[in-house]
Structure formats: C-alpha cells, structure tokens
Amino acid sequence: MSLAGIGVVARQEFRLRIRTGRWRWLLGAWLLVVTGFTGLLYAGLQHTTRTDDGAVMYGGLMLFVLALAALVAPALAAQSVNGDRERGVLAALQVTALGAGDIATGKLVAAWGTSVVFLALTLPDVLWCVAAGGVQLTRLLVTMGVMVLLLGVICAIALALSALLRRTTTSGLLSYLAVFALSIGTLVVFGLVSAATQETRVVHTPVDPNCSIDPGFSPGGCSGTYTESVVRTDRTWWLLAPNPFLILADSAPQTAKQKRGSSTDPLGSMARWVRDQRRGPTSSFTYGSLSSTRNPGAVWPWGLGFDVLLGAGGLWLTTRRLRTPTRKLARGARIA
Amino acid sequence: MTMTETSGRPPGIVAQGVRRTFGSVEAVRSVDFHAQPGEITALVGPNGAGKTTLLLVLATLLVPDAGSVSVAGYDPMTEAGEVRRRLGWAPDVFGLYDNLTAREYLEFFADAYRIPRPRGQQRAAELLALAHLPEYADSPVHVLSRGQKQRLGVVRAMVHDPEVLILDEPASGLDPRSRVDLKEMLREYAESGRTVVVSSHILSDLEELADRVVFIDKGLSVGEHVMSALPTSATSRRTWRLRSLDEPALVAALTRNGYSHSEPTAAGIDVDLADDAAAAALIAGLVNDKVPLVSCAPIGGALEAAYLELTEGRS
C-alpha cells in the first residue's frame, strides 16, 4: 500500500463520479434543502427572545445535516467493490501494481471525500448560525471534526458490505440498515434492555420537618419506606454510545451556560440526557442531591471509539476481500 | 527492447499438474502447460474445459489446489507482485469505464502500473495507434463498437510492455478485419521475444495465429502440437468437399466408383479420403466420367482435424 497507489484509485473514482453528471443536481438539491432548513429555523427563532439563537440553530442544523449525510454516505460507497465486479473492471485492476490496500483505501477516500464535499456545502449555513451568535469556535471545529469522522465510518461500513456481498442492491440495502441500526436501533435496544433489567428497590425517606401531608391521605405520611422500580441505565448506557447523533451532541464543547442547562440548544439537551443515562437513577427523595454531585461522565469517547473501530474493521475486511490470488470464490461468481 | 533471461529462472510459462476445484466442480483437474518466449501458444478446448480457470491461476488471481506454476520466472502465488510487473492479462469478458475516453482509459492503467506520467502518455498514444483507434483517442469509450472495445482491452494488457501476455478469447466479437489486425499485432509482439498465450474454442481463429497449441478438455491437458508439424491432408485422412454443376451425376459417379459419401447439401458432398494422392485420383476419375466438377477441397484445417481426432470417443 502506498500513497501514490491510493491516489491513483481515489482520483479515478472521483473522475468517474464527476463524469456521471448527476452530481451537480444532487449537490444543488442538498444546498437548497440545507439552506431551506436553516432559513426556517432562523425564522422560527425570531419569535423568541433568546440570546443564543445561533447555538440553537447550529445544533439543529448539525443534527439535520448528519441525518441527511447518513442517507447520502451509504450510497457513495455501497456499490464501489461489487459494482466494479459487476462491470468487469475490478480484476484488470487487481493484476496491476496496485495492491488490495491501495484499491480499498482509494475507494474509501473517494467516498469519504465526496461526503465531506457535501458537508462543506453546508458551510454558508454554518456561517449564518455563527453570525446569529452563540457558537464558539471550539464547538464549531469539534462538531465538524466528529461529523467528518462519522461520515468516514458510514462510508467504511458500506464499502465493506460492497466487498462482502455480490449483489449491489443487497449491499445498498444493508448499508442503510446498518446506518439505521446505529441511529435508531441503538435507541430501541437501549430502551428495551433497560426496561427488561429494571430493579425494585426499597427507599427510606427521611422525615421532612416541613411535611404537611395528611397521614390519612398518604399511608406513608411524611416518613417511612416504600418500594420503587428503577431503571439501571448506568448499566445499559453503553448501548447508546455508538449512536452517531448522540456522539455528535455529546462531543460538542459547551459553554458554562449550556452546562448549567439553561440553554435549549438541542446538542446540549441530548448531551445532558445521554450523560444522565450513564449516571443512572437518582432517588426522587434524596435531598441535597446525593448522586448528582457525581459528575456525569462523557459518553462520546466510547461511542466514537467504537464506531471508528467499526470503520477500521470495515476497511480491513474490504482489503482482505480484495487480496489476490484468492482461494475462495463466491458460487456462480466470475472473478473477472 | 530485448528480453534477457533472468539467471536460472525459466522464461515464459511453466505450469505442471495444476488443479483447481470450485466446491464439487472440478474446473481444472490436471493441466500441464508450457509457453515459450517468441511464440504464440494457443490454449484450445470446448466451453467449460477449464481454460479461463487455468488463465486466472496464471494471472495471479486464483490459488490452485495443487500443482506448480511459474510465470516469467516467478510464482504467481508467492511472488504475485513480481509476476504482475511482467504479465499482461485481458479477461474474456471485461468492462471499460464508460465515462472515460480511450486515452484516459489507457493512461489510467499506466498509472496503475506506476509508469511515470510522461512515459504513460506516450505509451497510451502508441497503443491507440497499435489498436487502430487513434481517431477515437478522445471519444468516450461507450461510443466504440464491440470490436473496437475488444481491441482497446487487448492493448490495455500491453500498457506496461509485459514479458508475458495472456489473452482470454481475444478474437471473440471481432470482425474479419479486426481479426487480421489482432493476428498481426500479436505476431509482432511475440517476435520481439515475448510470450503470448491466447485461448479460444474457435479453431479457425488460431489456425494461422498460433505456433503451438495445447488442447484441454474436461479439466485435463490432452495434447500439444507444434502447428508447423501438424499432419496435413498430404499424408493424413481428411474429409473433402466436392461441388458439381450436376449433383445427381456426381452422386452417381461416386457410388459407381465405391466411395462412401455424405448426403448432398447446398454446400456440396463430403467424402473421406486417405491423402492428397487419393484426392487426385478421385478428381481424375470424376473428370474422366464427364462430371462437371466445380471444386474439391479438404474441409476444416489441420488443427480441427487434430482436435477432432483427440476428442474422438472422449465424450
């Protein structure tokens, strides 16, 4: 594997993509949709008297862009290996001086690079958010960086599926399912597993000197014991970690105000929620907040780490599948 | 450029006892195959005989289950990189990048073989001329005809000036003119000291092209012939085809003289004859009998006769 080899493959992929011509339309449509969304967001916020409109706009825009990118990125890579096989152009490339790593990495670079071009097209709208105020530079840089990494992960997963599966339609479908599993599946599994592992615990409530509850109305009165079921999300939070939306939200650096929770910025709210899940349940009757003194730990390093490993695994698998001479050959598949 | 033999390494292709199965299908059971520099070696066999599988093994794409292979002196399994530098391969079915021009297509492969850019551009121009496609250099590949695409695919395999050139069914889909051009191109390439291997199931394609022929059938190498040494009609039994202005008279004369002959068709009447002398005798007899004979010639080439002889009774 060499930079020159990767460059040869990536340049070729880019050139073939650009030549198909649809890209101008697709990029134009993307720009239109994203700008339309930002405009509506801006208009909607004009009726509030908030000071960090920019941060709210930016958060909303980033989540929207990630959702759109998650629709585009799989399409960029999900046919790059089996599509070449189908067209009969892969084998001729495999017998050149290019190694399997050159071909796999070159294809990933091309798909990833294209998705970053889409992301770059959102920059005018990002600047609009910045102009609206409340978006600090570190937040901008970190969310963009994390977004770029997440797009790479999605492309690498789709690339691996295109190398593993013979039919382009199957790999395309499974790539979307994989993205769906990461973004919706993690939430569903987290919800179900958490519900299934609920615990019942006995809570001793201290006597509240200011209590005025009528003992006849409430059997426990102002003190006593009762049982409640608690959802131990501190044991299941990791199921949420690979979710790209939560990673994006949780990784965004926050201002002091955002940390206090006095902002409605969507990224901040999602970050607080996911960190609360990691911290686990707190009793509704704990005065002076026993658990909340514990600083809730960040979730995104785990999630991003996992996803990046997933992407690296995808690239490794692709390279392995492209290595020749090969022992295995899919049934009915012509190698050329 | 002249090819110098690497010390101790056998040039050309040496394959011995190659075996490759796909699940329960024995694509190649046991094939011995040799090809020498300076020659065009043809790999001949019916569809499904194992030609393409053998060529994939030689082209560093498939690992054989057994056997030893050397291409340009290197092992395609353990020294694939060395082999690839010296090997050009064009598969039987291949695609071109439709959105590239013919020139871009060749230059891309020059890049893929890490040929420096100026040299690659020069090489692409040479190959376009060789394929008789210079006027299409800047046309997108999808406007080319089938034969033109085939020619482009063949010269693509030559982009890095390989020592060994392997072409799987290169003549399929070519018109007669293109076939002649292909023959000349390969002949010239072989004469510069390189090894050329061509596979086909169409014997007439190879008749004038190949120097040596290796027959394979049902995954086995079943015979090898040097074309110039193949028996001709002068000394071996052949089917001859006769045509006459008066077909009933021809049939009557053949029957009268005791020749067993085929049913008359629009193409003529076929008769098996031992050698050229027998044919001369037959013609003399027919002329003597006042049969208005138009033509009398052996059908099928020497290669076809050898092939039919080899595969006779094998099915």
Beta-carbon contacts of residue A49 (< 8 Å; ≥ 6 apart): none
Residues A23-77 have pLDDT tens digits of 888 899 999 999 999 999 889 888 776 667 788 899 999 999 999 999 999 999 9
* Residue A283 in this model has a pLDDT that exceeds 60: no
In angstroms, the CA B239 to CA B237 distance is: 7
Residue with tokens 């046991």: B30
CB-based contact B80 A334, cutoff 8 Å: no
CA distance A119 to A62: 10
Chain A residue nearest residue B158, CA to CA: A96
Lowest mean pLDDT among A120-124, A279-283, A312-316: A279-283
Which residues, 6+ apart, have CB-to-CB distance to A155 below 8 Å?
A: A73, A74, A76, A77, A108, A111, A112, A115, A311
Res. B118: pLDDT tops 70: yes
Chain B: closest CA distance from residue A100 (Å): 12
Cross-chain residue pair A87–B81, CB shorter than 8 Å: no
B113 to A96: CB separation less than 8 angstroms, yes or no: yes
Which domains does chain B show, CATH number per domain? 13-228 (3.40.50.300), 238-311 (3.30.70.100)
Question: Is B139 in CB contact (< 8 Å) with chain A?
Answer: no
* Å between A56 CA and nearest CA of chain B: 44
Select from A14, A15, A96, A322 the residue whose CB has the most chain B CBs within 10 Å, as the one to mutate to test that interface.
A96
CA distance to partner chain B, nearest, from residue A136 (Å): 44
**Which residue in this structure is represented by tokens 């909303």?**
A60
Return the SS3 of A179: helix
Residues A275-284 have a mean pLDDT of 79
At B49, is the pLDDT very low, low, confident or very high (cuts 50, 70, 90)? confident
pLDDT at position A84 is 93
User: Is residue B170 reached through a cis peptide bond, with omega within 30 degrees of 0 on the bond before it?
Assistant: no
pLDDT at A245: 97
Distance from CA of B277 to the nearest CA of A (A): 50
Q: What is the pLDDT of residue A205?
A: 67
Between CA B253 and CA B245 the distance in angstroms is 13
Taking the Cβ of residue B24 and every Cβ of chain A, the question of whether any pair is shorter than 8 Å is answered with: no
Any chain A CB within 8 A of the CB of B161? no
The confidence score (pLDDT) of residue A209 equals 62
- Specify the DSSP class assigned to residue A176: H
Question: Which chain B residue's Cα is nearest to A9?
Answer: B112
* Closest approach of B104 to chain A, Cα-based (Å): 10
- By percentage, how much of chain A surpasses pLDDT 90? 62
pLDDT band at B197 (very low <50, low <70, confident <90, very high): very high
A8, A97, A331 member nearest B84 (Cβ) = A97
pLDDT of residue A210: 66
CA distance A274 to B31: 64
Cα distances from A279 to residues A197, A272, A282, A335, in angstroms, run 16, 10, 8, 53
Angle between helices B146-156 and B102-112 (to 10 degrees): 20
Q: How confident is the model at residue B266 (pLDDT cuts 50, 70, 90)?
A: confident
* List of chain B residues whose C-beta atoms are within 8 Å of the C-beta of residue A8: 108, 111-112
Any chain A CB within 8 A of the CB of B22? yes
Mean pLDDT of the B23-27 span: 85
- Give the model's pLDDT for residue A327: 85
Q: How confident is the model at residue A20 (pLDDT cuts 50, 70, 90)?
A: confident
- A88 to B91: CB separation less than 8 angstroms, yes or no: yes
Mean pLDDT of B192-196: 95
Residue of A nearest to B98 (CA): A16
Lowest mean pLDDT among A281-285, B179-183, B250-254: A281-285
- Reported confidence tier of residue A288, pLDDT bands at 50, 70, 90: very low
pLDDT tens for B212-238 read: 999 998 899 888 888 887 777 777 888
pLDDT, one tens digit per residue, over B73-97 is: 999 999 999 999 999 999 988 889 9
Predicted confidence band at A292 (pLDDT cuts at 50, 70, 90)?
very low
* Contact: B84, A334; criterion CB under 8 Å: no
pLDDT tens by residue, A232-265: 888 899 999 999 999 999 999 887 666 666 667 8
Instruction: Kindly report the nearest CA distance between residue B112 and chain A, in angstroms.
Output: 6
Q: Which contiguous run of DSSP H or E holds residue B114?
A: none
Treating both helix axes as pointing N-terminal to C-terminal, what angle do A266-279 and A53-77 enclose, rounded to 10 degrees?
Answer: 80
CB contact under 8 A, A97 and B90: no
Q: Do B112 and A94 touch (CB under 8 A)?
A: no
Q: How many CB pairs under 8 A join A and B?
A: 83
* Cross-chain Cβ contact B61/A331 below 8 Å: no
> Is A327 close to B63, i.e. CB distance below 8 A?
yes
The winner for highest mean pLDDT among A42-51, A327-336, B57-66, B266-275 is B57-66
Q: What's the predicted TM-score (pTM) here?
A: 0.86
pLDDT, one tens digit per residue, over A166-200 is 999 999 999 999 999 999 999 999 999 999 988 88
Nearest to A102 by CA among B111, B91, B103: B111
| pLDDT at residue A5, rounded to an integer | 95
* Confidence tier at B38 by pLDDT (50, 70, 90): very high
